[in-house]
Amino acid sequence: MFGRMYEDHDVELGLFPPGGRVLAIASAGDTAAALARAGHQVTAVDLNPVQLAYARARLDGAPAVTGTAERIMAIGRLAAGAVLAAWRPAALAAFLRLDAPAAQADWWHRELDRPAVRALARTAMAPLPAVLPNGLSRAVPTRFDRVLLRRIGAGVARYPNVDNPWAWRLLLGRERVEEPLRAGGVEWVHADIVEHLGAVPAGWYDAVTLSNVLDGPAPAFAARLATALRHAVRPGGPVVLRTVQDRSPLPGQPLDDRSLLWGAVTRVHIGD
């Protein structure tokens, strides 16, 4: 599903206690790798064995591949570049080298967020419900094309592009600096996240990051997850949650992140 992750792992790096035992959703491996390189003892869990094997291979140095999410975004960029020169790779690279949010916001609204691009984005995003799992497709906001363009505009007006790897990844489809994703010492677990949390000793983890696991499942899953977290995470330990939804249903304190993608990123502390 994902060849790369669209999560600003600086959120976790600034929040988690140093050298902690932490749990992450494996996904494409980026967050697990960042946490491991920072000295955490990382367990990466995923229910999808293909995604888990892919993340593990990436941390061993295998190249990134194009997932379903990247293919959809590439179609949108290609279509936009066909009708608007500002969306072609060289012009986007120039935009992404800017380091002043005010100038970036002006460029975005003047050159990139144009009526023709909005129409193309709507067409490109139309297949999204068909390629996503049923639960996740219900979580994606209506007219996600419009929502996503709004989120990108807000993000480039706030964070410098030049050192924001998630802006490069989302808008240009490549890394700001291309290098293999390598990290060692990660424990890889193929499991349902709730079952895994319930099986470890009480207070086993110092911190947990769960991506957007609450997007899609029925409300009963959230209740089971909360019970499992109270068991598996030490009192006061932070839990990071993300959602693609436009109006966040998440508990906890909102956090800043530079990914340009999420509707909300929040933290809760076990025991609050």
9-27: pLDDT as tens digits: 999 999 999 999 999 999 9
List the CATH number of the domain containing 257. 3.40.50.150
Q: Are residues 19 and 79 in the same domain?
A: no
What's the order of all strands across the beta sheet hosting 253-254?
187-190, 41-46, 21-25, 207-209, 238-243, 264-269, 253-254
Q: Where does a domain end: 143, 171, 199? A: 171
Q: What is the pTM of this model?
A: 0.89
Residue 192 counted as domain residue: yes
Residue 123 counted as domain residue: yes
pLDDT band at 93 (very low <50, low <70, confident <90, very high): very high
Average pLDDT over residues 42-61: 94
pLDDT for residue 128: 66
Alpha carbons 261 and 20: distance in angstroms, whole number: 28
Q: For residue 57, what are the contacts with CB-CB under 8 A and spacing of at least 6?
A: none
Residue 226 counted as domain residue: yes
Q: Where does a domain end: 171, 190, 210? A: 171
Q: Are residues 56 and 73 in the same domain?
A: no
For residue 17, the enclosing domain spans 10-63+182-269
Average pLDDT over residues 79-104: 92
Residue 177 counted as domain residue: no
pLDDT band at 129 (very low <50, low <70, confident <90, very high): low
pLDDT band at 251 (very low <50, low <70, confident <90, very high): confident
